[in-house]
Chains A and B, each alone.
Chain A
Amino acid sequence: MLFDTLAYWLFFGATLVLLACLRDRPAKIALVLASYVFYSGWDVRFCLLLAASTAVNYGFGLWIESAAGAARKRALLAAVSFNLGLLAVFKYYNFFIESMASLLGIDPAGALLNIVLPVGISFVTFEGVAYATDVYRRQLPAVRSKTDFALFIAFFPHLVAGPIIRPMDFFPQLVTRPLLTSEDSRWGLREILKGLFKKVALANYFAPIADACFNGGSYAGAAVPAWAGVLAFSLQIYFDFSGYTDIARGCARLLGYRFPANFERPYLSANISDFWRRWHISLSFWLRDYLYVPLGGNRRGARRTLLNLLIVMGLGGLWHGASWNFAIWGLYHGLLLIAHRGWQRVLQASGLQAAGARPLWQPLWIGCTFVLVSLGWVPFRAADFAATRSMLVALASWPQLDFAAQHWGIWLIPLASLIWCWLDRQRRWQDWLVERASLPTVAAIGAIALLCLEIFGQFETQIPFVYFQF
């Protein structure tokens, strides 16, 4: 069940009404069951894996809490190994076997496993690791309620593509069941409509352009120039993933739960560190809290800090998929982060830091960051090294602008988005809509948004969310 299908919205509406009719505990159980129904939409067998992972992680939580000293550490190690092992088997086993075989020049056929990658396994395992680590660090008591724990792992709005929920943020929300206010409803509706528009109208507009460019096909009967393909993919992945997150957050809010923000206008970042504080925020936090900090973070000297950055970003890249291209994308960002640190030092040493931070320079820094991030999407999207190379070579040639003259959307949508971000830079309009606007005004804006969705939505083909494959 995809968020942009009628089947999902019927399911969601039924779940919303059912939960409202039930007392607290039955409502939680019903929500867990609904989440499993949602997950079974992909493959019923995945539910067994989800249930097994939930049961084992629940047990690990209790074990870690009850253990002390070295035993506690061993319990944590076992929990982390279990979760990463799950990921390794289902997601990376074949990849590593093929890579090794390619290195040694042997045929991997006999050693490969014929398994399907369960949807959302990367997110589920990260939740498991986060929970075990938080219990180990005594930041969170092990959860006693099996229903609560099952809900934490399986809660359907974030199950398949995040955001990655921190246990400390989620479990306190299960203690009391809040009454849904008018503000919650408006907030939820706003995010859902915003997300649907981003996905169905914007991401799905850019998707065929990016596909045509990266797959060597044509768009509207013509070849897509490299610059347009890369720009299209940069915008597709943002609108697709942030749209998904908006819908997930909106749905969660309507069911009485709050998810953290996952995107904060990342393409308006003035530097790469800023970008990673605004892009896939829940993953950045996870990598920081559960990988960068345990590796020593920036506490072990400058060289180790830089190495840690490379390790974290490289593994973060590989988390996206079993391909060296993802690792390259991650390492590229690691190098950008290192370069940014160096640049900061140069500015500091030369006394130009304050001058560089002036508003006058911001458009330049934002533009540079966007170009660097967009270049990074090339290995991320390209099928392999050869495709990456040929795309980068094509980017180096003089850009053909005919495409932009024929397909206005390629420049008009980013321009309109930029103007919108500038007009509503403090998000006051969005807040006004939730907090102060009258019901008829909200409804009128909602109705116009739905009409715009009908007119501008790309409904001809079902384009899956990009992050579902991760």
Chain B
Amino acid sequence: MFDRSDRIRARLRAPLLLAGVVALLWFAVESLVYRSGAYYALAAPESNAGAVVNALLMLEGQYRPGVRTVLVLGDSRVAEGFSGPLAGAGSELAFINMAVPGSTPRTWYYLLREIERRGYRFEAVLVGMLYRPVGSLLSDWPLAPSQDVALIGVSDVFAYPASYAGPAMRTRARQALLFPALTLRSDTLDLLQSPRQRWRQLYEFRPGFISYVPLYPGREQRMPQLPFSDGTVLDWSAVGAAERALAQTHLAELAAPIDPAIRAANARYLTQWLGAMAELAARNDARLIVFPLPRGPYQEALGATVDPSLVQAVASVAGAIALPVDLLQSLEQPAYFFDGLHANRDGREQISAVVGARVRAALDGRD
């Protein structure tokens, strides 16, 4: 049934040689353009990959060798709600906020790994944590592959896709690793369609944005004060239409039931990735510190308790310092939020001052 080996070789030689060389060169071209990091300098600053690049550029601009520095990681809640200069005011400790909007702890881990690879060293890594359950599976966060594409490499070929739960997300993760051009397709197309606009975004607007971020004061808007009784709003009459819509959306999100399986999976996810970050930080004699983010503008009025599974998840991370869960509970009021998730200017100032002081105390061994 099987043919002689010399014939088999003769039949397969030409197509396999050609396919092999094409595949090799394809990999080389993709590596040259994307895997080398060359492309990321051109990624749109507003894109997911671009946001990661922005964070790295911010670090590059703010890092001072020899100065005791705390690296701050998180999502948009940390970007809006934490100010490095305010946290470090009056002390020799510098805080660099590298929060990436729409990111989760896995991205923070890969970001931290990249930062470590580039030789930056920190006293501590500070992470903002929301002790409120969320309805979506964090491990399958849809934005993650397009953010992480700038941070992962071929060495992650098995571990990275395996960190996703669903097959569709695993495929996307594999795609981001093996075919970065495919993941950055729309960004590349935008670049090709309007190179001038991209040039302006990158070289005119971004430098200003990066230097402005540490000076950003936060937003002025406040969520409306609402009269609650047993978790129900008694009177909407004093609230404008736009504010009402914002508040109603937020309250609907809070009221939505959350699958216990998702809660449990998210707690495991936090333990896994915060643990990995703590380990990575420890390798450079840095501590991982987790601070609680204010959970929302109406938590106090609603009498909502913290999610014990998340508290347990953070507490179980070896080598991490978890700041008290109720540290910022007094800020869970509309006066400190501009929407259901993000702190406003007042909130930002309060959070930065309180957390800054606690971190300094923790690092100075006073806590």
Q: B2 and A182: CB pair below 8 A?
A: no
With A440-B21, A454-B181 as contacts: A448 and B15 at CB distance below 8 Å: no
Q: B2 and A459: CB pair below 8 A?
A: no
Kindly identify, within residues 186 to 208 of chain B, every residue whose CB is under 8 Å from any CB belonging to chain A.
188-189, 192-193
Which of B25-33, B43-51, B88-96, B342-350 touches A? B25-33
Q: Which residue of A lies closest to B25 (CB)?
A: A447
Q: A408 and B14: CB pair below 8 A?
A: no
Kindly identify, within residues 13 to 69 of chain B, every residue whose CB is under 8 Å from any CB belonging to chain A.
14-15, 17-19, 21-22, 24-26, 28-30, 33
With both chains docked as a complex, state the minimum distance between the C-beta of A439 and any C-beta of chain B, in angstroms: 6
In the complex, A51→B185 CA distance in Å?
43
Q: Among the listed B14, B19, B22, B26, which residue makes an inter-chain contact with A184, where contact means beta carbons less than 8 Å apart? A: B14
Q: A185 and B2: CB pair below 8 A?
A: no
B8 an interface residue at 8 Å Cβ cutoff? yes
In the complex, A439→B14 CA distance in Å?
11
Q: B14 and A181: CB pair below 8 A?
A: yes
Residues of A within 8 A of B188 (CB): 455
With A20-B12, A185-B14, A454-B181 as contacts: A443 and B22 at CB distance below 8 Å: yes
Residues of B within 8 A of A450 (CB): 22, 26
Residues of B within 8 A of A442 (CB): 18, 22
With A184-B14, A188-B15, A451-B29 as contacts: A20 and B8 at CB distance below 8 Å: yes
Range of interface residues on A (Cβ < 8 Å) = 20 to 34
Interface residue tally for chain B (C-beta within 8 Å): 29
A220 an interface residue at 8 Å Cβ cutoff? no
Kindly identify, within residues 448 to 466 of chain A, every residue whose CB is under 8 Å from any CB belonging to chain B.
448, 450-451, 454-457, 459
With both chains docked as a complex, state the minimum distance between the C-beta of A22 and any C-beta of chain B, in angstroms: 6
In the complex, A214→B64 CA distance in Å?
61
Q: List 20 A-B contacts (CB under 8 A).
A: A20-B3, A22-B1, A23-B3, A26-B1, A180-B11, A181-B14, A182-B14, A188-B15, A254-B15, A439-B17, A443-B18, A443-B25, A446-B18, A447-B28, A451-B26, A454-B181, A455-B188, A455-B189, A457-B182, A457-B185
Q: B18 and A186: CB pair below 8 A?
A: yes
With A20-B8, A184-B14, A459-B182 as contacts: A443 and B30 at CB distance below 8 Å: no
In the complex, A447→B26 CA distance in Å?
4
List the 3 closest pairs (A to B, CB-CB), nearest first: A447-B25, A446-B22, A20-B11
With both chains docked as a complex, state the minimum distance between the C-beta of A237 and any C-beta of chain B, in angstroms: 24
With A21-B2, A22-B1, A180-B11 as contacts: A408 and B21 at CB distance below 8 Å: no
With both chains docked as a complex, state the minimum distance between the C-beta of B49 and any C-beta of chain A, in angstroms: 15
Majority-rule SS of A interface residues? helix
With both chains docked as a complex, state the minimum distance between the C-beta of B316 and any C-beta of chain A, in angstroms: 39
In the complex, A79→B11 CA distance in Å?
39
In the complex, A455→B11 CA distance in Å?
33
Q: B14 and A454: CB pair below 8 A?
A: no
In the complex, A446→B179 CA distance in Å?
16
In the complex, A212→B188 CA distance in Å?
25
Q: A189 and B19: CB pair below 8 A?
A: yes
Q: A446 and B3: CB pair below 8 A?
A: no
Q: Which residue of A lies closest to B182 (CB)?
A: A454
With both chains docked as a complex, state the minimum distance between the C-beta of A440 and any C-beta of chain B, in angstroms: 7
A116 an interface residue at 8 Å Cβ cutoff? no
Q: A446 and B15: CB pair below 8 A?
A: no
Q: A189 and B2: CB pair below 8 A?
A: no
Q: A451 and B18: CB pair below 8 A?
A: no
Kindly identify, within residues 155 to 212 of chain A, every residue whose CB is under 8 Å from any CB belonging to chain B.
179-182, 184-186, 188-189
Q: Which residue of A lies closest to B1 (CB)?
A: A26
A100 an interface residue at 8 Å Cβ cutoff? no
Residues of B within 8 A of A26 (CB): 1-2
Kindly identify, within residues 308 to 328 of chain A, every residue whose CB is under 8 Å from any CB belonging to chain B.
none
Residues of B within 8 A of A451 (CB): 26, 29-30, 33, 181
A16 an interface residue at 8 Å Cβ cutoff? yes
With A447-B29, A454-B182 as contacts: A182 and B18 at CB distance below 8 Å: yes
